[in-house]
Amino acid sequence: MDTLKFFLGIGLAFVLVFFAASVYSQFTRDSAIPTERETLYQVSTIDALMMGVFDGVLPVAEMKKHGDFGIGTFDSLDGEMIVLGGVVYQAKADGGVYKVSDNATTPFATVTYFNRDFNVTTGTLMNFSIFSSTMSGQLPSQNMVYAVLMRGTFPFMKVRAIPVQQKPYPTLSEAAENQSVYSYPNATGTIVGFYTPAFFKGLNVEGYHLHFISDDRQAGGHILDFTVPVNTPVEYDITPEFYMILPTSGDFTGVDLSQDLSEELAEVEK
């Protein structure tokens, strides 16, 4: 009788574990559908890019499974990435903007599915510096990640793109010394990017990191400065979840990421 009870107990335990596992699997599978759209999906870290880790590690085709909106760069630091409406564009140092094939790869990118949560309308004419400080102060919390979208005609738009780099790779600061800079008056287009909080230091760009693409898809790049008109709607998507993939081979595995590169990064960004 004791033996029978023992095996009955084992069998009941197995059934309960199997049932719990099935429920958990169903819950995570179902809940992953909406939460995937609220996730910042990131390839590598900004500090690794700062240190010259430029080899592409993730195909664009895979990246697009995780977002229809975002920014980044390409293998060998070849230009600036703009992801808008599920289409991936490459703003290159020659001043052109090109659609990117799914076979292209990225060493650093951040994407999400853009779903607007709220708008903040600008109250005055602002350059990038004033925009950053003013609009940061109007966020519900500066401790959240936000996808940021603006559409309109911008009286002044200054962008850059860094040319393709050759091995042995320089640091990002060194590569940026040869960047191509373009200024456009009355540029009509879309600003795409993110606001990330201070505790993302080393992982991503603190504050606003924005790229631009014109409506005619003839101009674009990383924004160094701009003029945002009065009454421009700034659309925000609160992005409470974060997922990062890291390279498992190549330069990333041996690079020293213990340094504080925030000052150098600020110089490169602006």
Query: Which structural domain range is residue 239 located in?
Result: 40-269
What does the alpha-carbon distance between residue 97 and residue 92 come to, in Å, rounded to a whole number? 6
In a domain, 5, yes or no: no
Average pLDDT of span 36-45: 94
Q: How many structural domains comprise the chain?
A: 1
Q: Which of 26-30, 120-124, 167-171, 235-239 is least confident? A: 26-30
Structural contact between residues 194 and 151, judged by C-beta atoms closer than 8 angstroms: no
What pLDDT score was predicted for residue 35?
A: 58
Instruction: Provide the token pair at 80.
Output: 């600036």
**In one letter, which amino acid is 210?**
L
Cα 246–chain centre separation: 14
What pLDDT score was predicted for residue 268?
A: 85
Burial degree of 180 (CB within 10 A; 0-12, 13-18, 19+): middle
Alpha carbon distance, N-terminus to C-terminus of the chain: 78
In a domain, 170, yes or no: yes
CA dist 139 → 20, 90, 174, 223 (Å): 41, 30, 34, 21
What pLDDT score was predicted for residue 245?
A: 96
pLDDT band at 269 (very low <50, low <70, confident <90, very high): confident
In a domain, 34, yes or no: no
In a domain, 24, yes or no: no
DSSP of 115-166, one letter per residue? ---EEEE--S-B-HHHHHHHHHHTSS-TTS-EEEEEEEEEEEEEEEEPPP--
What pLDDT score was predicted for residue 151?
A: 98
Cis amide linkage into residue 168, ω under 30° from 0 = yes
What pLDDT score was predicted for residue 18?
A: 33
CA atoms within 13 A on the CB side of 205: 26
Statement: residue 11 has pLDDT above 60 = no
For the chain, what is the mean pLDDT? 89
In a domain, 116, yes or no: yes
H/E stretch holding 243: strand 241-245
pLDDT digits (tens, 9 = 90+) for 165-221: 999 999 999 999 999 999 999 999 999 999 999 999 999 999 999 999 999 999 999
Statement: residue 136 has pLDDT above 50 = yes
Average pLDDT of span 108-123: 97
21 or 104, which is more confident? Answer: 104
Average pLDDT of span 231-260: 96
In a domain, 29, yes or no: no
16 or 41, which is more confident? Answer: 41
pLDDT band at 14 (very low <50, low <70, confident <90, very high): very low
Do the bridges between strand 69-73 and strand 80-84 make them parallel or antiparallel, or are there none, so unpaired? antiparallel
* 44-53 b/e (C-beta count within 10 Å ≥ 16 → b): bbbbbbbbbb
CA dist 179 → 94, 183, 262 (Å): 10, 13, 20
What angle is formed at CA 162 by the lines to CA 157 and CA 167, rounded to 5 degrees?
Answer: 175
In a domain, 30, yes or no: no
pLDDT digits (tens, 9 = 90+) for 51-86: 999 999 999 999 999 999 999 999 999 999 999 999
Can you give the CATH number for the domain in which 100 is found? 3.30.1330.80
Phi-psi region of 68 (alpha: psi -120 to 50; beta: other; left: phi over 0): alpha
* Phi, psi angles (nearest 5°) of residue 47: -65, -35
Statement: residue 13 has pLDDT above 60 = no
In a domain, 264, yes or no: yes
